[in-house]
Amino acid sequence: MPPGPTGKTRADGAREKFLRGATAMQELIEPMVTGQPYPIKGLVAYGTNLFHTIPNVPRTKEALQKLDFVLTIDALPQDHVAWSDVVLPEATYLERYDELWACGHKTPYVALREPAVEPLYETKPGWWMARELGVRLGLEAFFPWQTAEEYLNRRLSSLNLNLDKLREQGGVAIQKGKPYLADFEAEGASPFGTASGKVELYSEALASAGFQPLPVYEPLDEAPAGYFRLLYGRSPVHTFARTQNTPVLNQLMAENDVWLNAATAADLGLAEGDRVWLENQDGARSGPVKVKATPRIRRDCVYMVHGFGHQAPGMTRAHGRGASDAALQTRYALDPICGGAGMRVNFVKLVRES
């Protein structure tokens, strides 16, 4: 990839000016496997289910095997935990202090999250792990506090607050604030970080870098015969792939299903509640999962809720329930400007459970 406008090229070959951060996590898998353009030898996975977050699960497993060291910090015995050299079990959010929640809304406020119960078993909060690792590496100067309460009180002192005062206010401190844009209007400045100071529908910056200055429609590939475009999304019951084993939430939604157009289902001889396996264009499979026959989806697409299809016996309620959209995403497309990954570029066929 050529250098960006500054004349510099990042280590991963990305345009420095237009690609965010390290781009998508899946792009870091390739250096782990190939060592190019630079080797990656270790990984710390914190609160992230690697097999339900990154497309092309077999490639992720290959990357983990190449690494010299894998550390996992998690509150659950999820799929990827067994691939780790060291596992640090974290206390859940109801058992720990977290960083103050500072929101710059029209009415700014600061909110507190504190433990409701003591941590169970040998779990520890994330802040304790970070401080202990720092201290044991001789970095005490960066952790000039002993407890989470001491740290939070020091943070709150800039607002003339402490934990006791914040608790007296119900755990939320409302701050004085101005309506959005008020500060900019008073100073005669623009809130938009563009050369013109306005919302730009035509981008000179993109044009000078050789990109389309206006969005241009690019037609998508059609689904191959017998296949459907795989779409996925969220449920108001669950958070990503983290909550499927939680007893109450599991009772509300124990598994996902695959939405299929009702007329298409009839053509395939499938009825509501039939169980099928999903197989993508590269042979990846997941399931079995129940069919939801509905008129509320296109005939060339299927849809499923993300976060199911766990293959971890320790997740006693979620293990083997439903299908994993991540397991069926062996392909993805990167946006050349922002680095965002498009993963709805996979196609699946439905195979009736024998």
pLDDT tens-digit map of 254-287: 999 999 999 999 999 999 999 999 999 999 999 9
Q: Among 300, 340, 346, 342, which residue's Cα sits nearest to residue 323?
A: 346
Structure-model confidence comparison of residues 102 and 89, the more confident one: 89
* Confidence check: pLDDT of 64 > 70: yes
Tally of CA atoms within 13 A in the half-sphere of 196 that contains its CB: 8
pLDDT at 7: 40
What percent of the chain is predicted at pLDDT more than 70? 89
Highest mean pLDDT: which of 10-19, 128-137, 200-209? 128-137
* Confidence check: pLDDT of 5 > 60: no
Q: Please report which confidence band the pLDDT of residue 180 belongs to, taking 50, 70 and 90 as the band edges.
A: low
Residue 87: CB atoms within 10 Å: 15
The alpha carbon of residue 216 and the mean position of all alpha carbons in its chain are separated, in whole angstroms, by 28
* Confidence check: pLDDT of 194 > 60: yes
- The phi, psi pair for 89, rounded to 5°, reads -75, 120
pLDDT at 12: 46
pLDDT at 340: 74
CB 206 within 8 A of CB 17: no
CB 284 within 8 A of CB 227: no
pLDDT at 282: 94
Strands 333-334 and 341-342 turn out to be antiparallel
- Lowest-confidence region among 13-17, 180-184, 188-192: 13-17
Which amino acid is present at 93? Y
* Confidence check: pLDDT of 72 > 70: yes
- Lowest-confidence region among 143-152, 200-209, 266-275: 200-209
CB 73 within 8 A of CB 46: yes
SS3 state of residue 159: helix
* Confidence check: pLDDT of 2 > 80: no
Domains and CATH numbers, the chain: 41-98+109-174 (3.40.50.740), 228-352 (2.40.40.20)
